Structure 1
Amino acid sequence: MTFITCLFFGFVIAVSGSIVPSFLNLTVVKFSLKSGQKAAYFLIAGFATVLFFQANIGAYLSSILMKNSEYISIIQKIGTGILILLSINFFRLYVTSKKLKKKVEIERSKAYFHGIGMALLNTVAIPFYFTSISFLIGLGYFEYTIQNSLYFSLGSTIGSFALYSVYATVANKIEEKLAFIATKMDFILGCITGVVGIGNVVYFLVTG
């Protein structure tokens, strides 16, 4: 496969996975409103760093886990537990701080490592990339090699950074219109992670 093809698929899949509401892109909006656009970019850089490796892992697992589906279930159960804990934490933040605080400057390194930490908690990323790449392999559009995986991961990193940057930019430009939503951001994040987590629990109970 060519460099451009792998880069393109990585970019498109990352954008399609990041465009829907999730705790990562909503965290970018929240961070941009509270700490400014520059800090949000460093947060996004932290996301992108982890996503590069998550895409690589997803590509590798696509060639391994398809033959060992029981491991997928274990990963999903661990991810479900983390999502439920995140949901509880977001609701806690909403209850303890309902008012939108003024912008607070934050160190770039702190924003970057915060982004890394948040992205590591996003256990949905690896199964998402695994599923997407497995789909491409099934259609004959992707062949796993270390080189192709790196190209794909580079494209996904660029795609994620670009889309999250749009969220950060838009949040600042329509800050006044987002003021009400911003005060409810932790509640919204709690609902999203909670619904996904509970949905996974129901799925396991039904299929188990």
Structure 2
Amino acid sequence: MTILTCMFFGFVIASTGSIMPSFLNLTVVKFSLKSGKKSAFYLIAGFATVLFFQANIGAYLSSALMENSEYITVIQKVGTAILVLLSINFFRLHFKSTKKQHKEEIEKSKAYLHGIGMSLLNTFAIPFYFTSISFLIGLEYFEYSLLNSLYFSIGSTMGSFFLYACYATIATKIEDKLTYIASKMDFILGCLTGVVAIGNLIYLL
């Protein structure tokens, strides 16, 4: 496979997965409104760092664990527990914060580390890449190798960064229209992670 083909598939798959509402892109919006676009970009850099390795792991799993789906189930169980805890924490932040929030610049190192932490909690990324790459392999559009996996991961990192950057940029441009939503962002994140956790729990049961 060519370098551009692997990077193209990575870019398309990652950007498609990132376009749907999730606690990651909503966190980007929250960071952008609360701390400015610069802090949001460092947050996104943290996301991208972890997503690079998650895409690599997903590519490896697609070739090595096709007949060992119990490992994916374990990942989903851990992810469900984490989502429940995240949902509880977001609701706690929402009901705790009653004052009007003002913009406060966050240090780039803190924003970057926060991005890494949030992305590590996103245990759906590996199953997502595993499923997507397995689908490509089934269609004979992708052949696993270390180099192909590397190029795919680079493309997926670029795709995720691009989509999250769009979220951050749009949020700052329509900030006035998002004022009410911004005040309810923790509540929205709590509902979203809670619904996904319940859905995942039903699937596992």
Q: TM-score, normalised by structure 2?
A: 0.98
CA distance in structure 2 between the aligned counterparts of 1:162 and 1:204, rounded to whole angstroms: 33
Deviates more, 1:90-99 or 1:111-120: 90-99
Residues 119 and 34 of structure 1: CA distance in aligned 2, closer, same or farther (over 3 Å): same
| 2:58 aligned residue | 58
- Residues 10 and 154, structure 1, Cα contact 8 Å, conserved in 2: yes
| 2:177 aligned residue | 177
Q: How much has 1:86 moved relative to structure 2? A: 0.7
Q: Determine whether 1:142 maps to 2:142.
A: yes
Q: How much has 1:99 moved relative to structure 2? A: 4.2
CA distance in structure 1 between the aligned counterparts of 2:105 and 2:80, rounded to whole angstroms: 33
Q: Determine whether 1:15 maps to 2:15.
A: yes
- Please tell me the residue identity of whatever aligns with 1:163: L
- Please tell me the residue identity of whatever aligns with 2:58: G
Q: How much has 1:98 moved relative to structure 2? A: 3.8
Residues 100 and 166 of structure 1: CA distance in aligned 2, closer, same or farther (over 3 Å): farther
| 2:97 aligned residue | 97
Q: How much has 1:46 moved relative to structure 2? A: 0.4
- Secondary structure (helix, strand or coil) at the match of 1:66 reads coil
RMSD: 0.8
- Residues 98 and 183, structure 1, Cα contact 8 Å, conserved in 2: no
Q: How much has 1:100 moved relative to structure 2? A: 4.1
| 1:188 aligned residue | 188
CA distance in structure 1 between the aligned counterparts of 2:98 and 2:17, rounded to whole angstroms: 29
CA distance in structure 1 between the aligned counterparts of 2:66 and 2:130, rounded to whole angstroms: 9
- Please tell me the residue identity of whatever aligns with 1:158: M
| 1:45 aligned residue | 45
How many equivalent residue pairs? 205
CA distance in structure 1 between the aligned counterparts of 2:100 and 2:181, rounded to whole angstroms: 10
Deviates more, 1:67-76 or 1:173-182: 67-76
Q: How much has 1:204 moved relative to structure 2? A: 1.7
| 1:160 aligned residue | 160
- Please tell me the residue identity of whatever aligns with 1:199: G
Q: How much has 1:64 moved relative to structure 2? A: 1.6
- Residues 84-115 of structure 1 show CA distances to partners (whole Å, capped at 9, x for unaligned) of 11111111111111444100011111111110
CA distance in structure 2 between the aligned counterparts of 1:120 and 1:204, rounded to whole angstroms: 21
| 2:4 aligned residue | 4
- Residues 160-179 of structure 1 show CA distances to partners (whole Å, capped at 9, x for unaligned) of 00110011000000000000
| 2:126 aligned residue | 126
CA distance in structure 2 between the aligned counterparts of 1:72 and 1:40, rounded to whole angstroms: 31
Residue ranges of structure 1 left out of the alignment (5+ in a row): none
- Secondary structure (helix, strand or coil) at the match of 2:88 reads helix
- Please tell me the residue identity of whatever aligns with 2:198: I
| 1:113 aligned residue | 113
- Residues 35 and 103, structure 1, Cα contact 8 Å, conserved in 2: yes
Residue ranges of structure 2 left out of the alignment (5+ in a row): none
CA distance in structure 2 between the aligned counterparts of 1:152 and 1:99, rounded to whole angstroms: 44
Residues 99 and 64 of structure 1: CA distance in aligned 2, closer, same or farther (over 3 Å): farther
Q: How much has 1:116 moved relative to structure 2? A: 0.5
Q: TM-score, normalised by structure 1?
A: 0.97
